[in-house]
Chain A
Amino acid sequence: QVQLQESGPGLVKPSQTLSLTCTVSGGSISSGGYYWSWIRQHPGKGLEWIGYIYYSGSTYYNPSLKSRVTISVDTSKNQFSLKLSSVTAADTAVYYCARVGAVAGTPFFDYWGQGTLVTVSS
């Protein structure tokens, strides 16, 4: 069974860059067929899709975050990463990584990490 695990600093200072990594086990990112996504949830609020990446490096980002987001993949480590620049308190959230597949051209989100809380504060 595929498992995803987020890791990274739980506290980031305003104006700095938030960096998180998602480690995938039970399946290889480089085998293809899946996109690897980041989603966040502000405290007590709903979910927000941030973006995703294919193993080849193709990316798609939420237009509202696109100017500050970079998602990258390291197939040798079976990991993908999120960088969010110029953070403010509004970026305080639980960040989730998830797998996105497709069957007969129909996309689906299936496996999710447990999430990691990132607080932006000085």
Chain B
Amino acid sequence: QTVVTQEPSLTVSPGGTVTLTCASSTGAVTSGYYPNWFQQKPGQAPRALIYSTSNKHSWTPARFSGSLLGGKAALTLSGVQPEDEAEYYCLLYYGGPWVFGGGTKLTVL
């Protein structure tokens, strides 16, 4: 069974920069996995942030960026704001099915 792994939790200071990663049990994540990233706050539906590794939706704040880093998909937040405290999920495409990562709880402290 394919497993997508994210850091369970990360902490960042306001104004700081943090990178969340997304790894696949099948090997290196490439652009062909079309990584998507989502933000979810308590009691809310997930909100799409990034698709196909690095593309932003029209509503995605500029401080969010996506990339491939060391064989993983990565989401970088630069100039973190208090409202960025949330759970972040990545999603990878496996040529048919999609698989979500377990999520990273980001604390802004």
**Cα A111 to Cα B103 with chains together (Å):** 19
Chain A window 90-119, contacts with chain B (Cβ cutoff 8 Å), 1 for yes, 0 for no: 000000100000010011111111110000
User: Which A residues touch B98, using CB under 8 A?
Assistant: 49
**Cα A64 to Cα B57 with chains together (Å):** 30
B64 on the A face (CB < 8 A): no
- State whether A108 touches B1 (Cβ < 8 A): no
In this complex, how many residues of chain A approach chain B with their Cβ under 8 Å: the count is 22
- State whether A60 touches B52 (Cβ < 8 A): no
- State whether B100 touches A109 (Cβ < 8 A): no
- State whether B1 touches A107 (Cβ < 8 A): no
- State whether B102 touches A46 (Cβ < 8 A): yes
Closest to A106 in B: B52
User: Which B residues touch A63, using CB under 8 A?
Assistant: 97
- State whether A115 touches B45 (Cβ < 8 A): yes
User: Which A residues touch B96, using CB under 8 A?
Assistant: 60
- State whether B52 touches A112 (Cβ < 8 A): no
Most buried by B among A49, A63, A109: A109
- State whether A109 touches B91 (Cβ < 8 A): yes
- State whether A96 touches B45 (Cβ < 8 A): yes
**Cα A60 to Cα B93 with chains together (Å):** 12
Option from A47, A106, A111 in Cβ contact (under 8 Å) with B89 = A47
- State whether A109 touches B36 (Cβ < 8 A): yes
- Decide: A109 near B38, CB < 8 A? Known: A47-B46, A49-B97: yes
* With A46-B102, A47-B89, A109-B48 already in contact, 6 other A-B pairs whose C-beta atoms are closer than 8 Å: A46-B89, A47-B38, A106-B34, A109-B91, A110-B57, A111-B48
Interface residues, chain B, CB within 8 Å of chain A?
1, 34, 36, 38, 45-48, 51-52, 55, 57, 89, 91, 93, 96-103
Question: Can you list 18 residue pairs at the A/B interface with Cβ under 8 Å?
Answer: A46-B89, A46-B101, A49-B91, A49-B100, A60-B96, A64-B1, A103-B52, A106-B51, A108-B36, A108-B52, A108-B55, A108-B57, A109-B36, A109-B38, A110-B51, A112-B45, A112-B48, A115-B45
